[in-house]
Every structure is written in structure tokens, then in C-alpha cells.
Amino acid sequence: MVDEFRAAFQELIDASVATDPQHFPTAVHKVYLLASQIPVAERELALEALTPLLSGDHAAPGIIADLSVVAGALVEMGTDPGPTGVEILHRAHTMGKGAIVFARAWERTGGGTPPDPDTITADAETRVATDLGPDAPSATMCWWTIRRHGLAAKTMLSEPGVRAHLRRTPSLHAELVAIANQLSDLLTEFDEVRALLHMTEATNALVMDRHSGRAFRVLFDGIGDNSQLHTLLADALIGPERQGLHGDPPDPRWVTAFRDGPPDPQAQTVRGWWNLVAHDGTWVWNEGLPAQIPTIDGEHVLILDEQPYPRSWNAARRHPQVRGWLEVEAELDTEEAARWWERVAPAEPAIPSAETQQDHPPLPEPVVLQNEDTPQPHRVRNFLPEDTPAPTPQIPTTPPPPAPPAAEPAPEPLHQNPPEPDPTSASGNGFLPPLPRGVSKSANWGPTWR
């Protein structure tokens, strides 16, 4: 099986470099089918082999976009992304800037919502060319591929090693945040990218318990919102087997759901422990993010106050594909804790007054877990189908008729189930459909819309 995978992956690389639309879809299909049946180490080698293709100009933009999705699929199988994960972020950064140029030109040339990247036509480039001139083809190309780059970036940002790299390169992080902010209203993939980028911004906090006067420095990662932080703090601090804070320890099933497991239908509703408060006395809402907790001297400071009323929330991670963890790094000694208490606001009334209530969001209602038939607002579209087995490639028994010189297939996101075979497809196997009607094709497998 390993030899078959290696041969298929070599075929994929060869077809990519040669911009061969006849063999590329079949090679992708073979890699996809075999990847889950080989050791992780083999998949890691394959990912490493993709890095030069993603970082250079050895393949056409459409192929690079699809190779990014292939890399995402391998990572979702449990493969460490290695340097490929970082390279995909750099590619998303480059193509994202071009996609924004296209979107702004679209706004300046008549407004309205830009066309879906997967259905873009020659008319789109013609329209933005009145504003961009000779830059219109490259900007339109960026828009055509941007969804696939967003999908790949989303998967890579779900990996702790990739997020750690971003923390070491703040300039790249800041530019990706700016790109995601501008694209998130147009493409849902970048709304998720933006949330994962914010996840990288906070990995530690000073947590101070008002009841006992004790203070702890905690480390964490993979925390998607403050309800997850709240639950994992309770697990780390409450009870004699932890740090000894007063209260009932959380149900282990809640903790598992917020770390790395699925929600348990028999333990779906978490009961809260504290009112989370910032150092200046403002409330820290469970719906917010750890990165939004106010800081003192660059350190996020979180006060655990008495609950003003019972709170509850769903035992489920906002980003189900991301593993979360939290641990206590150290407890502050009595003198250091006292110095910190001098820097925080005194306890406020348990319930905000009518005058201060206007500065706070409405008090949240208890929530219950939705059933599986209800759309989930934070559900992540994975590259790999969860319930449907991967389709078997349909390799024609007789060679298809040669395609006209101008014909080429348009790559689509590989996480979707393949469409029904199209008799007009140049590839002949139905895995990748042709470009939308009206879009010209080029021998370099990249639409020029000319």
C-alpha cells in the first residue's frame, strides 16, 4: 500500500509541474483514497514534498490552490503539517491580498456582492478591468482561488504548531488578521480563519480568586471562547485534587467535550461557577474570547467573583476540530498576590445597577444543546466527509477524445463530494468539472478570461 501511495503521489507532483489537466484529477483521487491506509510518517513525507510546489512558481495558480486543499485533507487525517502548514498561510496571505484588490474593484465598478469564486466568468474580469487595467487578470485569478486557500488555511490554523509559528511572526499574523477582516463578510471560510487567528493571541492569564485571595498563572491553547476557558479553569482549580478552590468540580464529561472529545448528550449543559471580571471591574462574558480580556502590563488578568445568578452553557467547543488544554503554571506567593490585588478594582455589586446595565450586553439566557438536525452556526466544514466513504475514481477504459486546445477543468474544493460525470469535461472522469460557461481557458491551467 505504501508503494502505491508513493507512486500516486509522484504522479500528482508530475502532473502538477507539467500542468497536465488530463492526469491531475485522477492522481488527486488516488492520493485521497490511499492516504488513510498508510502510516502517518508516509503522509508527513508527502506533505513535506508539497512545500516547494506551494512556495514557488512551479505550478499554475489553480493547481496550487488544489494542492493546498490536498495538504489540508492530509492534516485532517492526523498528519503533522510541518513546514507545509506555514507555507499555506503565506500563500493565503499572497492570494488574499489579490482577492481584496478584486473585491474593492468590484465595489468601485458598480457595487453589489462579488460573484462566487467557483462560478466566476469572463464578464467579471471585464468589469474590474475598467478599474484595474492590466492587473485585472491576476486579481481575478486570486478571487477564483481564494476559497480553496481559505479552506486550507483554516485547517492549518487548527494545528498548535502553526499557531505557535504565528506567535513568533507577529507581522504575518497581523496581515492575515487584516485580510480575514476584509474577506469574512464575503466568504464564510474567512470568518472561521479570523476566529482561529484570534485564538493565537492569548495563551496565558493571571487568574485571581476573590473568595480566597489566591492567584494563579495559567497556560492554555486551543481555547475558542470564554465558556471553554471558564470550564477548564474550574477543572484546574476546584477541589482538593486540583488547587483546592471552593466549589463542585466540573463533570468530567464537560471537561472532555472542551478538551478533545465530542459532546456527551447525557451531559450537555454546563453549570457555571463564577462571574468572570476584568481587573477594571468590567464583566468578561462567556461569549467573548480570551484575547479580549483586558491586560495589565501586557498580562491578561481575570478575577473569579461570586456568581450573581445561575449560568449555563453548552458543553461543546466552538472549534470542534481544535484540541484545547489548560494547566496551572504556578501559584503566586502571598506577597505577590497582595500586590496584584492592590491593582484591581474592588468587588462590584453582584447584579449591575440600572445605570451600569446599559454598559453591558443583555444577561445571557441558559442554553441547551441543539440536536443534530439543527444547523450549527460554528460547525466547521471539513475537507474529509464524516459519514460518506471516499468515491472510487472512475478511470475511463478507452482514451477520451482530445480536448480542444483552449479547454481546461476548473479545480473545485476537494472537501466536497465529487459531482456527477459531465460528458463535456476535458478530464473525462467527472471529478473536476469544466470552468463556468463563458470563461476562457489557457494551456497553463489558469483562466485568463480574455
pLDDT digits (tens, 9 = 90+) for 76-123: 999 999 999 999 999 999 999 999 999 999 999 998 999 999 888 889
Q: Cα–Cα distances in Å, from 63 out to 67, 226, 414, 439?
A: 6, 39, 12, 17
Lowest pLDDT segment from 131-145, 195-209, 368-382: 368-382
Position 352 scores a pLDDT of: 52
Whether the pLDDT of residue 408 is over 60: the answer is no
Rounded to the nearest integer, the mean pLDDT of the chain is 81
Length of the chain: 450
Provide the sign of the torsion angle of the four alpha carbons 97, 154, 51, 414, taken in this order: negative
Residues sharing a CB contact under 8 Å with residue 128, sequence separation 6 or more, in sequence order: 102, 105, 106, 109, 136, 139, 140
Position 212 scores a pLDDT of: 95
Whether the pLDDT of residue 34 is over 50: the answer is yes
| Integer Cα distance of 379 and 192 in angstroms | 10
| Integer Cα distance of 250 and 439 in angstroms | 57
Closest CA to 104 of 182, 169, 31, 44: 182
| Integer Cα distance of 435 and 48 in angstroms | 30
Residues sharing a CB contact under 8 Å with residue 104, sequence separation 6 or more, in sequence order: none
The domains of the chain are located at 2-199, 204-357
Position 349 scores a pLDDT of: 63
The residues pairing with 207 across neighbouring beta strands, listed in sequence order, are 216, 302
Position 354 scores a pLDDT of: 52
Lowest pLDDT segment from 176-180, 336-340, 374-378: 374-378
The residues pairing with 275 across neighbouring beta strands, listed in sequence order, are 305
In order, the DSSP letters of 262-326 are PPPGGG-EEEP-EEEEETTS-B--TTS-GGGS-EETTEEEEEEEE-SS--EEESS-SSTTS--EE
Confidence of residue 18 (pLDDT cuts 50, 70, 90): confident
Buried b / exposed e along 73-112 (16+ C-beta atoms within 10 A):
bbbbeebbbbebbbbbbebbbebbebbbbbbbbbeeeeee
pLDDT in tens, 218-234: 999 999 999 999 999 99
Average pLDDT of span 38-65: 87
Question: Crossing angle of helices 188-199/160-168, nearest 10°?
Answer: 70
Confidence of residue 355 (pLDDT cuts 50, 70, 90): low
pLDDT in tens, 184-195: 999 999 999 999
Query: Do residues 115 and 124 touch, judged by C-beta distance below 8 A?
Result: yes
Position 60 scores a pLDDT of: 83
Position 348 scores a pLDDT of: 72
Residue 87 belongs to what H/E stretch?
helix 82-108
Query: Do residues 130 and 110 touch, judged by C-beta distance below 8 A?
Result: no
Closest CA to 180 of 158, 216, 155, 153: 153
